[in-house]
Structure 1
Amino acid sequence: MLEIAPVSTVMRALADPTRRAVFERISACDEITVAQLTRGSGVTQGAISQHLKSLKQAGLVAERPEGRNVFYRAEPEGLAPLVDWIGHYGVFWRERFANLRSLLKEIDP
Structure 2
Amino acid sequence: MSQNLAVRDVFDAIADPTRRELIRLLADKSELPLHELTPRFEMGRTAVSKHLTILKQAGLVRDRKVGRETRFRLHAAPLREVQDWVSFYDKFWRTNLLRLEQPLKEEDEATERN
Instruction: Report if TM-score (shorter chain) is over 0.5.
Output: yes
Alpha-carbon separation, structure 1, partners of 2:84 and 2:40 = 34
Deviation at 1:80, TM superposition (A): 0.4
Query: Which has the higher relative contact order, 1 or 2, with Cα contacts under 8 A spaced 6 or more apart?
Result: 1
Letter of the 2:50 partner, please give it.
Q
Matched with 1:46 is 46
Percent identity at matched positions?
A: 38
Deviation at 1:78, TM superposition (A): 2.1
- Which secondary structure does the structure 2 equivalent of 1:76 belong to? coil
Matched with 1:18 is 18
Judged with a 3 Å threshold, the aligned counterparts in structure 2 of structure 1 residues 51 and 104 are, in CA distance, closer, same or farther, namely same
Alpha-carbon separation, structure 1, partners of 2:50 and 2:80 = 23
Matched with 2:62 is 62
The question of 1:37 aligning with 2:28 is answered no
Give CA deviations for 1:68-98 in whole Å, capped at 9, x if unaligned: 2211101121210111011111111110001
Matched with 1:88 is 88
Give CA deviations for 1:11-45 in whole Å, capped at 9, x if unaligned: 22222122222222221111011121113432111
- Which secondary structure does the structure 1 equivalent of 2:78 belong to? helix
Structure 2-normalised TM-score?
0.79
Structure 1-normalised TM-score?
0.82
Structure whose alpha-carbon radius of gyration is higher? 2
Q: RMSD in angstroms over aligned alpha carbons?
A: 2.1
- Which secondary structure does the structure 1 equivalent of 2:102 belong to? helix
Alpha-carbon separation, structure 1, partners of 2:95 and 2:64 = 44
> Which segments of 5 or more consecutive residues in structure 2 lack a partner in the other structure?
2-6, 110-114
Alpha-carbon separation, structure 2, partners of 1:105 and 1:95 = 16
Matched with 1:103 is 103
